[in-house]
């Protein structure tokens, strides 16, 4: 090289080195910047330079107050591939910020040693969905075979070991929780450990063991649980009934029937358990027996259950109705069976004239349940009798209308003696707040529920004395008696809540015109009236259900009443847009709205449900997944599959159920990994999703 060229090269090299040094000095200065984004950029730029001496700078940045800086530090530490940073990255994997957790997981994948892998598998069980998914990706990047299966197996083992240790060594409350959690695993070893505990001297632990055995799903436990129904401890008996219901073994039907007939505090639970059992001659016979011999509340539930199954043999009912001593039991059976017991109407109608008031009421309930117009004249006659009997008791002792404004000198908010009242400013402030809230509701198309202002004063009449007339009003609507519409409209404005409620329910049963007249009652302030009327409207089919749907946008805080009724009795297909709006609003209402959309198989709601699923704070995640599964649109498969990584087992199970119903093979690897999940219902749902024609009923519960 010629001397001149050599000199020029030396000068250029020296200038470049000086520039680099100057750039590095600036980066070091930027690490002290008060702006987090500047510090983060400095860490990123220094990492690209690959200077081993900068490891201490990245270590310091990993403790930065800003998550954006800690995230860059995690990447820089991983890029160094220095085994000494594994512990620090393990700490960052527990960072409060989820994005830092994910970057720390990927950084650990670059340090391919057993310690880094151990951190990843350990933290899988402790992190939320997004980080769990990234951890699996990190394990794959680290060339770990069966990455998710290994992480799931490690999580399963950790949960099992923790619960087993707690059961053996924990305090009583801890042992109770551990017993239930062991049962949820469904492992044969869990059943073996819980069976001896069902006879433990500490009732709370024995009850927990019974609940755990119910979740385990092993029918070997039935023979140990069924005798506990004879115990005197309500908590233990309640746990036993719940467990038998989950185990679905019909060998316990006879014992459950005995509990249902004993008229105790757990009898209603026994009825529910029998109703949930697989249908067969034993369960049907038990329910029919209870409808005749049980307490009134249990009898009605049993009868309504059998109503949907075609009813019960009518000969025993006819025999009871023919004997004065047993007529009550026959009437309550008819009231439960409703239309399925229509042939008994001719035997029930004469009882409407009985001198026994309780028998008349039972007969009226039976007639209402049957709903045959042939009973109209008898019900009309009873209405006239009850109205006449109540007339003296409800005499209007102030015949003129009540004033709607204060008389001069009686308004507490008006000035007195030329002075402002002490509470005038407070009253004005509250009036302004109420006015603004009302205006906001009107702008949103909502109607505020207002308390009723009495327009008349009556002598006080005990509510129990009004119940016979209220029952007659409900019956008038049920049998669609001639003139019932006008009569019920008159009583729909009655000052008495029982009568007003009964009239509105009666109107709901009179077809579209009655539904239109009744739906205004949903704006009453009494919650019980709202609930009863919503159920009556929904029970009437499309007309009543459409009325409830039309009210949804107008309700701001009471949507749950409407949605609960629609969830029980169904909703028309036209409800989809209104229900989607509820889902977008989130909250507890979205749970029921998503459930109804799933039952409707509303394909137009798929995009709305998928978007709602992206909300990490959604309380309706499980229902959103199941709804998407019911609809079966494969477009949702990717969003649903992400929830196979969720930290809550019920969500993982619901995701697997949804994929099975969609018939898609998306995320087969993740589903296969979940076959070793700790929780039985997740394992069963994942197996069903991988097996054509399989079922995932348990996972959907």
Last residue of a domain, one of 117, 144, 171: 144
Q: What pLDDT does 555 receive?
A: 86
CATH code of 593's domain: 1.25.10.10
Q: What is the pLDDT of residues 674-697, one digit of tens each?
A: 999 999 999 999 999 998 544 444
Specify the higher pLDDT residue, 524 or 179.
Answer: 179
**Is residue 446 pLDDT above 80, yes or no?**
no
Domain count, the chain: 3
Nearest to 225 by CA among 201, 249, 204, 261: 249
Asked if the structure places residue 538 within a domain, the reply is yes
Last residue of a domain, one of 144, 166, 191: 144
Specify the higher pLDDT residue, 350 or 390.
Answer: 350
Out of 14-28, 456-470, 657-671, the most confident range is: 657-671
Q: What is the mean pLDDT of the chain?
A: 88
Say if residue 503 is in the same domain as residue 636: no
The Cα 564–Cα 562 span in angstroms is: 6
Asked if the structure places residue 664 within a domain, the reply is yes
Q: Are 287 and 274 in contact (CB under 8 A)?
A: yes
**Is residue 88 pLDDT above 70, yes or no?**
yes
Say if residue 601 is in the same domain as residue 676: yes
Say if residue 609 is in the same domain as residue 526: no
- For 577, the domain range is 572-701
CATH code of 385's domain: 1.25.10
* Tokens (6 digits) for 207: 């009850």
Q: Are 577 and 605 in contact (CB under 8 A)?
A: no
Q: What is the pLDDT of residues 21-79, one digit of tens each?
A: 558 889 999 999 999 999 999 999 999 998 888 999 999 999 999 999 999 999 999 99
Q: What pLDDT does 18 receive?
A: 40
Last residue of a domain, one of 111, 144, 177: 144
Q: What is the pLDDT of residues 634-670, one digit of tens each?
A: 899 999 999 999 999 999 999 999 999 998 766 899 9
Cβ neighbours around 417 below 10 Å, total: 4
Q: What pLDDT does 453 receive?
A: 47
pLDDT level of residue 556 (50, 70, 90 thresholds):
confident
Asked if the structure places residue 163 within a domain, the reply is no
Asked if the structure places residue 628 within a domain, the reply is yes
Q: To 10 degrees, what angle do helices 172-185 and 203-216 make?
A: 10
Q: Are 621 and 651 in contact (CB under 8 A)?
A: yes
Nearest to 478 by CA among 562, 374, 389: 374
Burial 154-180, CB ≥16 within 10 A → b, else e:
bbbebbbeebbebbeeeeeeebbebbb
Q: Are 548 and 515 in contact (CB under 8 A)?
A: no
Asked if the structure places residue 471 within a domain, the reply is yes
Say if residue 378 is in the same domain as residue 494: yes
* Tokens (6 digits) for 585: 């609003």
268 contact partners, CB below 8 Å, separation of at least 6? 297, 298, 301
Say if residue 528 is in the same domain as residue 381: yes
Q: Are 442 and 349 in contact (CB under 8 A)?
A: no
Sign of CA dihedral 86, 88, 94, 99: negative
Say if residue 537 is in the same domain as residue 580: no
The Cα 309–Cα 529 span in angstroms is: 30
Say if residue 379 is in the same domain as residue 523: yes
**Is residue 19 pLDDT above 90, yes or no?**
no
- At 419 the three-state DSSP class reads strand
Q: What pLDDT does 12 receive?
A: 37
Specify the higher pLDDT residue, 700 or 430.
Answer: 430
Percent composition of the chain: helix, strand, coil (DSSP 3-state, to 5): 75, 0, 25
Say if residue 511 is in the same domain as residue 585: no
Specify the higher pLDDT residue, 456 or 26.
Answer: 26
- At 157 the three-state DSSP class reads helix
* Tokens (6 digits) for 685: 């749902």
The Cα 537–Cα 549 span in angstroms is: 11
Say if residue 513 is in the same domain as residue 614: no
Say if residue 377 is in the same domain as residue 489: yes
Asked if the structure places residue 280 within a domain, the reply is no
Say if residue 50 is in the same domain as residue 122: yes
pLDDT level of residue 223 (50, 70, 90 thresholds):
very high
Asked if the structure places residue 236 within a domain, the reply is no
Nearest to 452 by CA among 410, 510, 502, 492: 492
Say if residue 512 is in the same domain as residue 609: no
Asked if the structure places residue 620 within a domain, the reply is yes
The Cα 214–Cα 127 span in angstroms is: 29
């Amino acid at each position: 090289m010629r001397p001149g060229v050599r000199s020029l090269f030396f000068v250029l090299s020296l200038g470049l080195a000086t520039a680099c040094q100057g750039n590095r000095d600036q980066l070091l200065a930027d690490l002290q910047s008060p702006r987090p984004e500047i510090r983060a950029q400095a860490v990123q730029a220094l990492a690209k330079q690959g200077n081993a001496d900068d490891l201490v700078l990245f270590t310091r940045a990993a403790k930065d107050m800003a998550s954006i800086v800690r995230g860059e530090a995690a990447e820089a530490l991983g890029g160094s591939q220095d085994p000494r940073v594994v512990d620090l990255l393990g700490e960052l994997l527990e960072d409060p910020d989820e994005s830092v957790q994910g970057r720390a997981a990927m950084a650990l994948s670059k340090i391919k040693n057993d310690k880094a892998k151990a951190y990843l598998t350990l933290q899988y069980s402790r992190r939320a969905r997004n980080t769990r998914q990234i951890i699996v990706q990190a394990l794959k990047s680290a060339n770990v075979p069966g990455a998710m299966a290994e992480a799931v197996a490690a999580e399963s083992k950790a949960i099992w070991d923790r619960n087993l240790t707690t059961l053996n060594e924990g305090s009583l409350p801890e042992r109770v929780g551990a017993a239930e959690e062991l049962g949820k695993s469904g492992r044969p070893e869990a059943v073996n450990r819980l069976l001896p505990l069902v006879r433990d001297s500490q009732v709370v632990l024995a009850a927990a063991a019974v609940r755990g055995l119910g979740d385990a799903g092993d029918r070997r436990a039935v023979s140990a649980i069924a005798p506990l129904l004879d115990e005197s401890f309500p908590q233990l008996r309640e746990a036993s009934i719940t467990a038998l219901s989950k185990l679905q073994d019909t060998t316990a039907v006879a014992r459950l029937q005995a509990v249902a007939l004993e008229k105790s505090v757990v009898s209603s639970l026994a009825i529910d358990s029998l109703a949930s059992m697989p249908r067969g001659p034993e369960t049907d016979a038990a329910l029919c027996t209870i409808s005749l011999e049980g307490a009134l509340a249990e009898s009605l539930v049993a009868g309504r259950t059998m109503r949907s199954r075609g009813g019960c043999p009518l000969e025993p009912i006819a025999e009871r109705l023919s004997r004065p001593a047993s007529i009550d039991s026959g009437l309550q059976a008819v009231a439960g069976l409703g239309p399925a017991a229509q042939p008994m109407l001719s035997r029930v109608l004469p009882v409407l004239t009985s001198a026994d008031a309780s028998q008349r009421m039972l007969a009226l309930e039976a007639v209402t349940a049957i709903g045959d117009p042939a009973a109209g004249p008898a019900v009309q006659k009873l209405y006239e009798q009850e109205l006449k009997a109540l007339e003296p008791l409800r005499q209007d002792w102030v015949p003129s209308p009540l004033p709607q404004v204060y008389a001069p000198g009686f308004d507490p908010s008006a000035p007195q003696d030329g002075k402002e009242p002490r509470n005038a400013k407070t009253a004005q402030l509250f009036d302004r707040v109420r006015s603004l809230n009302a205006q906001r509701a009107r702008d949103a198309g909502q109607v505020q529920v207002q308390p009723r202002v009495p327009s008349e004063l009556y002598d006080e009449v005990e509510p129990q004395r009004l119940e016979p007339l209220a029952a007659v009003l409900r019956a008038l609507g049920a049998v669609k008696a001639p003139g019932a519409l006008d009569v019920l409209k008159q009583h729909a404005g009655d000052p008495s809540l029982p009568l007003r409620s009964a009239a509105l329910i009666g109107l709901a049963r009179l077809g579209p015109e009655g539904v239109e007249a009744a739906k205004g009652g949903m704006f009453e302030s009494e919650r019980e009236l709202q609930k009863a009327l919503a159920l009556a409207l929904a029970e009437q089919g499309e007309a009543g259900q459409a009325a409830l749907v039309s009210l949804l946008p107008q309700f701001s805080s009471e949507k749950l009443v409407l949605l609960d009724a629609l969830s029980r009795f169904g909703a028309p297909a036209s409800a989809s847009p209104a229900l989607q709006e509820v889902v977008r609003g989130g909250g507890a209402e979205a749970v029921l709205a998503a459930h109804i959309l799933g039952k409707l198989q509303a394909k137009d709601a798929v995009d709305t449900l998928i978007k709602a699923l992206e909300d990490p704070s959604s309380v309706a995640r499980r229902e959103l997944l199941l709804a998407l599964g019911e609809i079966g649109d494969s477009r949702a498969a990717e969003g649903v599959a992400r929830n196979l990584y969720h930290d809550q087992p019920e969500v993982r199970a619901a995701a697997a159920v949804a994929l099975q119903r969609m018939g898609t093979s998306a995320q087969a690897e993740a589903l296969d990994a979940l076959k070793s999940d700790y929780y039985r219902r997740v394992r069963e749902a994942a197996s069903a999703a991988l097996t054509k024609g399989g079922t995932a009923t348990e996972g959907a519960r």
